[in-house]
Structure 1
């Protein structure tokens, strides 16, 4: 496994709509493993393929002990609202409040190409929506309702 470089705001790949994954092979498995290691080191919650330089439709999430790999994800249903503080590994030192669904049902493939469905709430729903947006070339700063000074966060 290897730590991948996280692409930062300004790189055009972060604004590109990603293509579907069609090959589920060892190369994909290695990239997913590397992304898990990269996310652990960065101490983040989610990481999308374009954030490590791959214009493909998949992301990973770490929610407590649960490690989720979502390939070719489709959001099926959302409900509720939560006004939450958000940041992004590709947009360092910027934080802001966004409104996200409080519940999200999505469908995706695992690393072997098998489809599954999952429903997540709270942070999980927030993360699915944030990471899925990356696959469409959108960043959280596009939907921030109020930016927060990082120094104010440190005081809290």
Structure 2
């Protein structure tokens, strides 16, 4: 397992639509392990493969706050098959948009179908923070960021902030 570097806004990779994973190989399992280690190190509660530069449809999630209570989920080729009409507002952040948080409204409950690392198809319902996290990470697989749900003004401000930071960093390099 290895901690991989995170892709940070405004990197264009974050706008790529990720490709299906295909067969569950040792390489896919190693990628999932690296993703979990990277997510825990950050620290975060979810990570899509594109956030470490791999355009594959794989997501890892773990809502546990305490390392002793970890309960990692690996979703391979996840697909949201149903969303509730009821909405929920939750403050979201993103490891690819560090130290920026904003309230986002999303469906409160969802149904998701995915494959686990054994290759088995799983279909489950989620609500609350888990539903929010799954939607956030599946959005990444489709090139969508949580800031895309903000007003045009807020989105413009955060994009400019990260573009300036990236420019400064490249000038210092």
Give me the TM-score of the superposition, normalised by structure 2: 0.81
Matched, 1:29 2:35: no
RMSD across aligned positions (CA):
1.3
Q: What residue number does 1:122 align with?
A: 128
Q: What residue number does 1:17 align with?
A: 17
**Counterpart-to-counterpart distance in 2, 1:144 and 1:62:** 25
Deviation for aligned residue 1:23? 2.8
What is the SS of the residue equivalent to 1:63?
A: coil
Q: What residue number does 2:79 align with?
A: 74
Q: What residue number does 2:166 align with?
A: none
Matched, 1:50 2:50: yes
**Counterpart-to-counterpart distance in 1, 2:41 and 2:83:** 30
Q: What residue number does 2:90 align with?
A: 84
Q: Which blocks of at least 5 consecutive residues in structure 2 are unaligned?
A: 65-69, 155-173
CA offsets 1:44-76 (integer angstroms, 9 cap, x no match): 110000001100111010022321111111101
Rg comparison, structure with higher value = 2
What is the SS of the residue equivalent to 1:56?
A: coil
CA offsets 1:70-126 (integer angstroms, 9 cap, x no match): 111110111121111111000012211110111111000112322111111100000
Q: Which blocks of at least 5 consecutive residues in structure 1 are unaligned?
A: 148-156
Q: What residue number does 1:62 align with?
A: 62
**Counterpart-to-counterpart distance in 1, 2:89 and 2:150:** 10
